[in-house]
């Protein structure tokens, strides 16, 4: 018999409301009480006897931070997941997921594995639970303990973007630095600047003063980019690199509005997201970071761990190479 909230409350000597708060990561209890609830989930004999006897068919996709393109990656993972059989289901877990809630899923055998999309620590308590569940980190920072990382080639993506502008004849491009919680964009900018440095060519670094991109809507983006383009007016620049595709419509609107007298420069985006790039005029180049390959590698590695019924016990890193996507006019 599975543990219920009421049964956990009885065993822990607390109210069902307290158990619910603990499972949802809410405040209003001591840390000792929260740990006691987690310990019951871990040690209850009914859970130990039933654990891992039968697969639930559930795979969790946990975003540790608010992503710019969540549904893109969710869809690609979901498509590839179906190749392992119709019984497997993917569901999203929020960045606010508590360790106690994840422990409840695990103890009830309601989750078989996790794909973790993030670039910072999951938190000590959450990582303690992760040690008991097969999991793969995607696009994450490189960690030191036993795990599997599927990593994007962000710096190489920036270098590919730089080579494209150089091939277009650009000798004084602008590299647009946008505040972003995800360090991938900054890494792409670093790769872009390095390519020009290695070739002893100039490159202007343009920092946009605005809140984190993840927290900015289109209307606000339009305002920030309009002010930015109006102040800079592409003075002396003959090309432009933007590390993310999310702000592409706002950037193009500002360029058409405030720099209409100057020739439209070649533009390349460091992330290929057709929903933001498909309507641009003139078309822009972009760098495909390999989301489909990331999804495939991550799923294959996770299912290997699930079938071996173990968590990662040694470091394994897989780097996915990006590729340049040319606009129609350059194809």
> Quick check: 52 pLDDT over 50?
no
Q: What angle do CA 271, 278, 72 make, to 5 degrees?
A: 50
Helix (H, G, I), strand (E, B) or coil at 236: coil
Helix (H, G, I), strand (E, B) or coil at 257: helix
Q: What are the helix (H) ranges across the chain? A: 5-12, 16-23, 31-43, 45-50, 70-81, 99-107, 124-130, 154-167, 184-198, 218-232, 248-258, 274-277, 291-308
pLDDT band at 146 (very low <50, low <70, confident <90, very high): low
pLDDT (0 to 100) of residue 115: 92
Architecture of the 1-50 domain = Orthogonal Bundle (1.10)
Question: Which two tokens mark 100?
Answer: 């106690």
> Quick check: 48 pLDDT over 60?
no
Residue appearing with tokens 């594995």 = 113
- In angstroms, the CA 182 to CA 117 distance is 11
Side-chain half-sphere exposure of 188, counting CA atoms within 13 A: 33
Tell me the mean pLDDT in the region 181-200. Answer: 91
Question: Which range (41-50, 67-76, 85-94, 302-311) has the least confidence?
Answer: 41-50
Contacts of residue 321, defined as CB under 8 A and 6 or more positions apart, other chains included, come to 153, 156, 290
55-152+293-324: in CATH 3.40.50.2300: yes
- Which of the following CATH numbers is that of domain 154-288: 3.40.50.2300, 3.40.50.300, 3.30.450.40, 3.40.50.720? 3.40.50.2300
User: Of 68-77, 137-146, 290-299, which has the strongest mean pLDDT?
Assistant: 290-299
> Quick check: 51 pLDDT over 60?
no
- In angstroms, the CA 215 to CA 19 distance is 32
Beta-bridge partners for 234:
none
Residue appearing with tokens 């309507």 = 279
Domain ranges of the chain: 1-50, 55-152+293-324, 154-288
- In angstroms, the CA 134 to CA 112 distance is 7
Tell me the mean pLDDT in the region 187-207. Answer: 93
Nearest alpha carbon to residue 258 among 227, 286, 216, 301: 227
Are 277 and 242 a contacting pair, CB within 8 Å? Answer: no
| The overall pTM is greater than 0.85 | no
pLDDT (0 to 100) of residue 112: 93
Helix (H, G, I), strand (E, B) or coil at 148: strand
pLDDT (0 to 100) of residue 258: 73
Backbone angles phi, psi at 100, to 5 degrees: -70, -35
């Amino acid at each position: 018999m599975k543990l219920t909230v009421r049964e956990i409350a009885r065993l822990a000597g607390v109210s069902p409301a307290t158990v619910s708060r603990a499972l949802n990561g809410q405040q209003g209890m001591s840390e000792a009480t929260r740990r006691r609830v987690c310990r019951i989930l871990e040690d209850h004999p009914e859970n130990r006897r039933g654990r891992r006897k039968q697969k639930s068919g559930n795979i969790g996709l946990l975003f540790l931070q608010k992503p710019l393109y969540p549904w893109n990656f969710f869809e690609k993972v979901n498509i590839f997941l179906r190749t392992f059989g119709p019984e497997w289901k993917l569901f999203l877990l929020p960045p606010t997921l508590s360790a106690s809630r994840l422990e409840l899923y695990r103890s009830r055998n309601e989750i078989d594995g996790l794909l973790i999309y993030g670039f910072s620590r999951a938190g000590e308590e959450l990582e303690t639970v992760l040690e008991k569940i097969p999991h793969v980190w995607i696009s994450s920072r490189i960690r030191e303990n036993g795990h599997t990382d599927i990593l994007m080639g962000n710096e190489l993506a920036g270098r590919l973007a730089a080579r494209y502008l150089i091939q277009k004849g650009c000798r004084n491009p602008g590299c647009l630095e946008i505040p972003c919680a995800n360090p991938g964009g900054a890494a792409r900018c670093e790769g872009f600047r390095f390519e020009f440095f290695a070739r002893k060519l100039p490159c202007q670094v343009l920092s946009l003063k605005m809140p984190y991109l993840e927290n900015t809507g289109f209307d606000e983006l339009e305002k920030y980019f309009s002010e930015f383009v109006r102040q800079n007016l592409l003075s002396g620049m003959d090309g432009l690199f933007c590390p993310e595709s999310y702000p592409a419509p706002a950037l193009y609107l500002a360029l058409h509005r405030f720099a209409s007298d100057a020739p439209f420069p070649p533009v390349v985006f460091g992330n290929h997201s057709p929903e933001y790039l498909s309507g641009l005029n003139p078309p822009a180049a972009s760098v495909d970071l390999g989301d489909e390959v990331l999804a495939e590698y991550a799923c294959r590695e996770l299912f290997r761990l699930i079938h071996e019924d173990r968590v990662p016990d040694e470091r394994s890193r897989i780097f996915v190479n990006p590729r340049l996507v040319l606009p129609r006019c350059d194809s």
